[in-house]
């Protein structure tokens, strides 16, 4: 049956609850008897806690505990599960980055805990530390393959890049840098931990994945996994920094155990700079060669990124070069540098956002050197198959994206656009967007209730992108019900397992499971009906039964889902299904693609850049809900503007501390920075990517944007900015 | 946040009495005070809420404007007489903060807002302004937002206000009332240079309450503009800003500057009025050339650091732009 609800641009079903405040986020969960935790954090970047004076704080009325490494419960197991981060949970006196948790005050009220936290005096012994890449780059090392880069090895070579460069008619060899960035979702990290007896733990957490949190808590407190329950009904943005459980999650549970009360722990905005990750700094060298026609002869992409002293996070920045252009001679490499910083983590389009800036800037530089239209240069090396893996793309509509983007934007390449009458310089630029299509194991449970409505569940998380809505749409079509008779629920580790919402994989993974579970439920109900002596459909062939709005029809006779359930005794009828990648999927290279075109105005004297218009055309498989998908892409593109012009987490290099710790100092685009943004889709039918045909669109919007803007700034000013963000001083 | 007591003043006298108590602070819009209390940079024991006092009025008199201490930044910015007689002030206010903040922020609070120096705002760092004689991490630290004029070996924190830059350029005077009675302070004397006491920022004694600000509205004020350069299009503190006003004489062909007013923001440890640059402009034609010369003069003594060296050139260009716009007339 053809889906009729999936794809419709429906408004999000939780929209009303959100704007009226009825939607409860993790910090707003009401638990009786809850106590409040406030963290105290370190000042220095590396050292030891000599002593913590807690007397004054402990004497304050209402203070239940001041937990420090001295008196904190010892956790049975602090080893880190795979794909997870090392945490600092008051188990020793080491300080390994600035703003690290060193104590936790628990009190009857939030105000009391805040006041008492101010009275805690931490004495630190500082040790030499550095947060400067240049100080440690000599110790750069080759990281182990990581899941963030699809478990690919750090280095890959194909052909003979040195020769390709030698033989090129034109070469570009430049270094690009992207700064530290911090996710800054609007909703702060928040955890409420409730122990029900000595070995049962329930946690309400602002997380992108309830199962990851469950696993980590179970491990650290040595509990059977089934004894830990994690809930997350609404998330106010994650972008990666809620992808893994960080220190505060464990500390909330630890504190709750220690004081024998439920404990709520919410990070302040300044505390969100460091201990919950951020985008690492990258320095990337691009050596690109082309023949006179602009066909690439060599592409070398070497990336160095930063990580902490105690944990490896790899920003896979050079990976984007592995799939982007047809080129015989290619080399990509990744190195990590350890600094006295907190461990970075995935941040919206890890790898592609940073790597795309370098690659797509270099391509533009090459086009400029060859006096070629940068779009024509990209087409000259269009990759029909994946150039590294020698595999076909499961689907690739980039050519269409380029053409449609150029048409909508009115792309006409000039070496230099003329200035406006008011003196403002005008520039245009473009870049390619891409992001891998991830798909992970997911399960869903579909239940038909006796009233003829369905309840479908999967323990995914809705980061705000609209998972509740699109899963309801998919379920409605799969089962054969109208939207208002399907309820989709998520965000609970007691539900069937779904992957964490990261890597733009929730739509693909969860929708596939929901689709399969919904269909299985529908088929089961049909089978029950045709075998049921009480059904008008008794004896009909299942494949001749038509389903619409919860009614089954065959040979002019009808039955309803509700009646089938009632006749069977009234207990809900349910089916569970699991979706996940299979062997066949490995035959394909799987990516979303897109193209972005931008017009900027630059004040020639004062250096201010304004993005006047940003047009993006994206192909991300099937679009489950055009309205929500548009918002995702638009949000990604706004992030791209921020990456290009504003965002930078600044460290004081002497004291090793982040100095931009609020949203006044850490700039993201303000409304006035965002003028016209036009996201469009090219719909794709992709039967290889996953059962739902979805590639994911949560991240691709930010990829390529910064390069397109930097390229437009060059077009306007003749100045090539290779280090983001492009602030006024860089254009003076 | 430290616990505190809260009292709402019913009269100016009551406010002054409360404000003179140890560790007291006046609360107006709260946008600066409460922010710093949450960061625990300010830990007053006693909050004296003055926000309900009858000091909201904006009066247009002959010769000048009187801005009540509790007039909101929005009300001042949108006042038709302010826009007409002192456009630079309206522009300065509208370029600051966000609409929500401007609706709460007051004239008095804006005058007394504290620096945005990231070190001042972070208890884990050394700051002479927060704790006298403790040291300053900013001097060798991240100085992109810091001052290049008026700094000392104790402090280089930039003054953050836009409003005060416009007021400084146009000879505003601040009326205050304290336990000793009422007095007037020139705006350019109201903010103190850090010198050896960066913790002393204002020429106010304990308990002194700002009542109003008077700005003479001259011909140069009527032909004034404010230009602000920042890292995003809105809702950011100035990298550099400039309030400029010109009184011109002569016809369109042979115009001469009779009187000039210039003050810079974002670059000074206080709102940076330059009488020297103003004198250099007087008698000159209103051309880019004269503007640039005056700008060179103003910034001759600048002391940039690693991260804010760009401000020297940017300040000159911003000043030229503001004067050019003023010369063109609004
Ligand atoms: C995120 C953010 C961005 C901002 N951006 C800008 C910007 O771009 N440009 C800019 O100029 N400003 C900016 N500001 C600062 C803003 O202008 C000030 O916070 C505001 O003007 C303070 O006014 P208030 O009434 O809220 O003061 P309050 O916070 O109430 O008080 C501030 C100080 O003044 C004292 N005080 C208040 N009234 C009186 C009085 N009548 N007499 C004596 N003392 C008094 C208080 O005791 C306190 O010490 C920004 C602020 C924030 C939070």
Residue A8 sits at the chain B interface (C-beta within 8 Å): no
How remote is the CA of residue B168 from the centroid of ligand 1, in Å?
17
Ligand 1 atom, smallest distance to B210 CA: 42
Residue A552's nearest CA partner among A534, A536, A568 is: A536
Predicted ipTM of the assembly: 0.96
A111 is catalytic: no
Distances (CA, A) of B40 to A616, B34, B121: 44, 9, 8
Secondary structure element (H or E) that encloses residue A651, with its range: strand A651-652
**pLDDT value for A247:** 97
Q: What is the pLDDT of residues A89-137, one digit of tens each?
A: 999 999 999 999 999 999 999 999 999 999 999 999 999 999 999 999 9
CATH architecture of B225-328: 2-Layer Sandwich (3.30)
Tell me the nearest-neighbour CA distance from B198 into chain A, angstroms. Answer: 20
Give the angle B145-B146-B151 at the CA atoms, nearest 5°. Answer: 170
Q: What does DSSP assign to residue A429?
A: E
**pLDDT value for A124:** 98
Give the distance between the most distant pair of CA atoms in chain B: 65
Interface mutation vs chain A, best among B142, B145, B311, most A CBs within 10 Å? B142
Tell me the nearest-neighbour CA distance from A307 into chain B, angstroms. Answer: 21
Ligand 1 atom, smallest distance to B32 CA: 29
* Residue A644 predicted with pLDDT over 60: yes
Instruction: Report, as an integer, the average pLDDT of A698-713.
Output: 97
Distances (CA, A) of A473 to A3, A469, A484: 9, 6, 10
Set of chain A residues whose Cβ sits within 8 Å of the Cβ of B122:
657, 659, 661
Is the Cβ–Cβ distance between A731 and A723 less than 8 Å? no
How remote is the CA of residue B107 from the centroid of ligand 1, in Å?
8
Is the Cβ–Cβ distance between A75 and A250 less than 8 Å? yes
Partners of A103 in the beta sheet? Answer: A40
In the block, which residue shows the tokens 């049975």?
A76
Name the active-site residue from A187, A360, A497, A699: A699
Is the Cβ–Cβ distance between A552 and A513 less than 8 Å? no
Instruction: Share the mean pLDDT of chain A.
Output: 96
**pLDDT value for A83:** 73
A732/B310 touch (CB, cutoff 8 Å), yes or no: yes
Partners of A486 in the beta sheet? Answer: A454
Residue A407 neighbours by CB distance under 10 Å: 12
Distances (CA, A) of B237 to A270, A664, A667, B97, B98: 19, 8, 11, 7, 11
Q: What is the pLDDT of residues A486-538, one digit of tens each?
A: 999 999 999 999 999 988 899 999 999 999 999 999 999 999 999 999 999 99
A484 CB-near residues (< 8 Å, 6+ apart): none
Q: What is the pLDDT of residues A559-568, one digit of tens each?
A: 999 999 999 9
Q: What is the pLDDT of residues A390-404, one digit of tens each?
A: 899 999 999 999 999
Pull the structure tokens for residue A616: 């993006």
How remote is the CA of residue B27 from the centroid of ligand 1, in Å?
10
B119/A667 touch (CB, cutoff 8 Å), yes or no: no
Residue among B37, B98, B101, B184 to mutate when testing ligand 1 (max atoms within 8 A of CB): B101
How remote is the CA of residue B90 from the centroid of ligand 1, in Å?
17
Portion of chain A with pLDDT greater than 90, in percent: 94
B229/A607 touch (CB, cutoff 8 Å), yes or no: yes
Residue B324 sits at the chain A interface (C-beta within 8 Å): no
**pLDDT value for A626:** 95
Set of chain A residues whose Cβ sits within 8 Å of the Cβ of B141:
652-655, 659
**pLDDT value for A482:** 97
Interface mutation vs chain A, best among B232, B309, B319, most A CBs within 10 Å? B232
Q: Name the residue with the closest Cα to ligand 1, atom 48.
A: B33
* Residue B251 predicted with pLDDT over 90: no
Distance CA A499, CA B203 (A): 61
Set of chain B residues whose Cβ sits within 8 Å of the Cβ of A665:
116, 118
* Residue A2 predicted with pLDDT over 70: no
Q: Is the pTM above the cut of 0.95? A: yes
Question: How many residues comprise chain A?
Answer: 732
Considering only CB atoms, A115 lies closest to which of B3, B39, B229, namely B3
Nearest CA in chain A to B320: A605
Instruction: Report, as an integer, the average pLDDT of A205-215.
Output: 97
Distance CA A170, CA A208 (A): 45
Task: Sheet containing B24-27: give its strands across.
Answer: B5-8, B46-49, B24-27
Instruction: Report, as an integer, the average pLDDT of B103-124.
Output: 97
Tell me the nearest-neighbour CA distance from A713 into chain B, angstroms. Answer: 15
Tell me the nearest-neighbour CA distance from B318 into chain A, angstroms. Answer: 7
Residue among B4, B14, B32 to mutate when testing ligand 1 (max atoms within 8 A of CB): B32
Q: Which residues line ligand 1 (CB under 6 A)?
A: A 664; B 25-33, 35, 50, 69, 73, 96-97, 101, 104-106, 108-110, 112-113, 160-163, 209-210, 237
B124/A98 touch (CB, cutoff 8 Å), yes or no: yes
A732/B2 touch (CB, cutoff 8 Å), yes or no: no
Nearest CA in chain A to B308: A729
Residue among B31, B53, B111 to mutate when testing ligand 1 (max atoms within 8 A of CB): B31
Residue A372 neighbours by CB distance under 10 Å: 19
Q: What is the pLDDT of residues A52-82, one digit of tens each?
A: 999 999 999 999 999 999 999 999 877 776 7
Beta strand residue intervals within A549-590, DSSP E = 551-554, 557-560, 573-579
A655/B141 touch (CB, cutoff 8 Å), yes or no: yes
Instruction: Report, as an integer, the average pLDDT of B303-317.
Output: 98
The domains located in chain A, with CATH, are 35-128+183-272 (3.30.365.10), 138-181+278-438+587-730 (3.30.365.10), 440-580 (3.30.365.10)
Q: What does DSSP assign to residue A280?
A: P
Nearest CA in chain B to A40: B124
Would you place residue A150 in the very low, low, confident or very high pLDDT band (cuts 50, 70, 90)?
A: low
**pLDDT value for A575:** 98
Instruction: Report, as an integer, the average pLDDT of B29-47.
Output: 96
Interface mutation vs chain A, best among B43, B105, B233, B236, most A CBs within 10 Å? B233
Partners of A192 in the beta sheet? Answer: A204, A264
A98 CB-near residues (< 8 Å, 6+ apart): A41, A42, A43, A44, A45, A274, A340, A655, A656, A657, A658, B124
Set of chain B residues whose Cβ sits within 8 Å of the Cβ of A605:
317, 320-321
Instruction: Report, as an integer, the average pLDDT of A252-279.
Output: 98
**pLDDT value for A419:** 84
Is the Cβ–Cβ distance between A208 and A463 less than 8 Å? yes
Pull the structure tokens for residue B256: 């001469």
Interface mutation vs chain B, best among A651, A652, A675, most B CBs within 10 Å? A652
* Residue B252 predicted with pLDDT over 80: no
Residue A559's nearest CA partner among A521, A532, A519 is: A532
Residue A728 sits at the chain B interface (C-beta within 8 Å): yes
3-state secondary structure of A159: coil
A368 CB-near residues (< 8 Å, 6+ apart): A374, A415, A714
3-state secondary structure of B229: strand
Would you place residue A421 in the very low, low, confident or very high pLDDT band (cuts 50, 70, 90)?
A: confident
* Residue B313 predicted with pLDDT over 60: yes
Better-scored residue on pLDDT, A19 or B251: A19
* Residue A147 predicted with pLDDT over 60: no
Q: What is the pLDDT of residues B272-301, one digit of tens each?
A: 999 999 999 999 999 999 999 999 999 999
Nearest CA in chain B to A611: B233
* Residue A554 predicted with pLDDT over 90: yes
* Residue B13 predicted with pLDDT over 60: yes
Distance CA A425, CA A604 (A): 6
Instruction: Share the mean pLDDT of chain B.
Output: 97
A43/B124 touch (CB, cutoff 8 Å), yes or no: yes
Q: Is B197 exposed, middle or buried (0-12, 13-18, 19+ CB in 10 A)?
A: middle
Distance CA A331, CA A288 (A): 10
Residue B278's nearest CA partner among B294, B302, B299 is: B294
Would you place residue B114 in the very low, low, confident or very high pLDDT band (cuts 50, 70, 90)?
A: very high
Distance CA A89, CA A104 (A): 10
Considering only CB atoms, B231 lies closest to which of A43, A114, A646, namely A646
Portion of chain A with pLDDT greater than 70, in percent: 98
Tell me the nearest-neighbour CA distance from B27 into chain A, angstroms. Answer: 19
Residue A160 neighbours by CB distance under 10 Å: 15
Cα of A207 vs its chain's centroid, Å: 12
């Amino acid at each position: 049956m053809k889906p009729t609800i999936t794809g419709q641009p429906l408004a999000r079903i939780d929209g009303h609850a959100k704007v009226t405040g009825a939607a409860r986020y993790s910090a707003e969960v009401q638990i009786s008897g809850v106590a409040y935790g406030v963290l105290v954090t370190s000042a220095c970047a590396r050292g030891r806690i000599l002593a913590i004076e807690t007397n004054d704080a402990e004497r304050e009325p209402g203070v239940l505990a001041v937990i420090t490494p001295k008196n904190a419960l010892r956790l049975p197991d602090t080893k880190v599960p795979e794909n997870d981060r090392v945490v600092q949970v008051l188990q020793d006196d080491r300080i390994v980055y600035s703003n690290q948790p060193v104590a936790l005050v628990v009190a009857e009220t939030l105000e009391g805990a805040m006041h008492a936290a101010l009275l805690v005096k931490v004495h630190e012994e500082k040790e030499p530390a550095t947060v400067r890449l240049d100080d440690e780059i000599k110790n750069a090392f080759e990281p182990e393959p990581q899941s963030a880069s699809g478990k690919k090895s750090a280095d890959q070579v194909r052909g003979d890049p040195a020769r390709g460069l030698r033989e090129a008619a034109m070469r570009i060899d430049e270094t690009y840098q992207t700064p530290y960035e911090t996710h800054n979702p609007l909703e702060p990290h928040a955890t409420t931990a409730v122990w029900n007896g000595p070995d049962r733990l329930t946690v309400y957490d602002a997380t992108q994945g309830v199962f990851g949190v469950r696993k980590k808590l179970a491990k650290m407190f040595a509990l059977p996994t089934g004894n830990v329950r994690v809930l997350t009904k609404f998330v106010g943005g994650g972008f990666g920094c809620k992808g893994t459980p960080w220190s505060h999650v464990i500390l909330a549970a630890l504190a709750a155990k220690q004081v024998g009360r439920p404990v709520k722990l919410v990070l302040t905005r300044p505390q969100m700079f460091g201990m919950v990750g951020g985008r690492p700094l990258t320095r990337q060298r691009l050596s690109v060669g082309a023949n006179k026609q602009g066909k690439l002869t060599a592409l070398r992409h070497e990336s160095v990124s930063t990580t902490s002293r105690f944990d490896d996070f790899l920003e896979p920045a050079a990976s984007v070069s592995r799939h982007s252009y047809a080129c015989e001679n290619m080399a990509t490499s990744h190195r990590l540098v350890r600094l006295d910083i907190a461990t970075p983590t995935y941040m919206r389009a890890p790898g592609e956002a940073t790597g795309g800036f370098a690659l797509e800037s270099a391509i533009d530089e090459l086009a400029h050197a060859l006096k070629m239209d940068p779009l024509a240069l990209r087409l000259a090396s269009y990759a029909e198959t994946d150039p590294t893996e020698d595999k076909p793309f499961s689907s690739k509509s980039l050519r269409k994206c380029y053409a449609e983007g150029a048409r909508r934007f009115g792309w006409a390449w000039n070496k230099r656009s003329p200035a406006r009458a008011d003196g403002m310089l005008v520039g245009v630029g473009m870049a390619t967007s891409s992001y891998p299509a991830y798909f992970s194991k997911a399960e869903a449970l579909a239940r038909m209730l006796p009233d003829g409505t369905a309840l479908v569940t999967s323990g995914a998380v809705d980061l705000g992108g609209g998972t509740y809505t699109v899963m309801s749409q998919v379920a409605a079509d799969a089962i054969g019900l109208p939207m208002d008779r399907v309820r989709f629920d998520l965000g609970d580790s007691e539900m069937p397992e779904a992957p964490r919402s990261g890597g733009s994989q929730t739509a693909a993974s969860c929708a596939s499971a929901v689709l399969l579970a919904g269909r299985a439920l529908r088929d089961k109900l049909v089978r029950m009906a045709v075998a049921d002596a009480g059904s008008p459909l008794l004896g009909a062939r299942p494949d001749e039964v038509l389903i619409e709005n919860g009614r089954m029809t065959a040979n002019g006779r009808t039955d309803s889902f509700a009646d089938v359930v009632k006749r069977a005794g009234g207990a809900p009828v349910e089916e569970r299904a699991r979706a996940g990648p299979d062997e066949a999927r490995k035959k394909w290279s799987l990516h979303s693609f897109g193209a972005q075109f931008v017009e900027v105005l630059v004040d020639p004297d004062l250096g201010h850049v304004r993005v006047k218009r940003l047009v993006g055309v994206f192909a991300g498989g099937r679009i489950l809900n055009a309205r929500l998908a548009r918002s995702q892409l638009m949000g990604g593109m706004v992030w791209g503007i921020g990456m290009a012009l504003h965002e930078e987490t600044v460290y004081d290099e002497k004291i090793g501390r982040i100095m931009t710790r609020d949203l006044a100092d850490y700039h993201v685009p303000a409304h006035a920075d965002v003028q016209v943004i036009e996201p469009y889709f090219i719909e794709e039918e992709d039967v290889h990517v996953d059962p739902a045909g979805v590639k994911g669109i949560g991240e691709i919007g930010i990829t390529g944007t910064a390069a397109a803007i930097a390229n437009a700034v060059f077009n306007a000013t003749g100045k090539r900015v290779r280090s983001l963000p492009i602030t006024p001083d860089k254009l003076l | 946040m430290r616990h505190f007591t809260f009292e709402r003043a019913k009269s100016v006298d009551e406010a002054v009495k409360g404000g003179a108590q140890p560790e007291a602070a006046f609360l107006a819009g709260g946008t600066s005070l409460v922010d710093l209390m949450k960061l625990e940079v300010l830990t007053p024991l006693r909050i004296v809420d003055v926000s309900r006092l009858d000091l909201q009025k904006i009066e247009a008199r002959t010769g000048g404007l009187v801005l009540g201490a509790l007039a909101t930044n929005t009300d001042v910015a949108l006042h038709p007489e302010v826009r007409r007689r002192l456009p630079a002030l309206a522009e300065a206010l509208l370029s600051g903060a966000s609409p929500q903040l401007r609706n709460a922020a007051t004239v008095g609070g804006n005058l007394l807002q504290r620096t945005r120096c990231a070190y001042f705002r972070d208890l884990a760092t050394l700051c002479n302004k927060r704790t006298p004689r403790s040291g300053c991490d900013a001097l060798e630290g991240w100085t992109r937002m810091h001052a290049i004029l008026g700094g000392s070996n104790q402090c280089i924190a930039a003054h953050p206000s836009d409003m005060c830059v416009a007021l400084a350029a146009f000879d505003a005077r601040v009326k205050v009332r304290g336990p000793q009675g009422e007095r007037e302070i020139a705006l350019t004397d109201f903010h103190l240079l850090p010198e050896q006491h960066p913790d002393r920022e204002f020429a106010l004694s304990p308990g002194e309450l700002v009542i109003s600000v008077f700005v003479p509205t001259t011909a140069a004020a009527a032909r004034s503009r404010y230009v602000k350069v920042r890292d995003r299009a809105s809702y950011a503190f100035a990298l550099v800003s400039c309030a400029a006003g010109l009184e011109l004489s002569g016809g369109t062909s042979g115009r001469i500057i009779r009187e000039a007013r210039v003050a810079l923001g974002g670059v000074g440890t206080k709102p940076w009025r330059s009488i020297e640059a103003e004198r250099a402009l007087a008698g000159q034609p209103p051309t880019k050339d004269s503007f640039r010369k005056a700008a060179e003069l103003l910034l001759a003594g600048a002391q940039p650091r690693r991260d804010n060296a760009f401000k020297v050139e940017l300040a000159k260009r911003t000043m030229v732009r503001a004067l050019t716009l003023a010369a063109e007339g609004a």
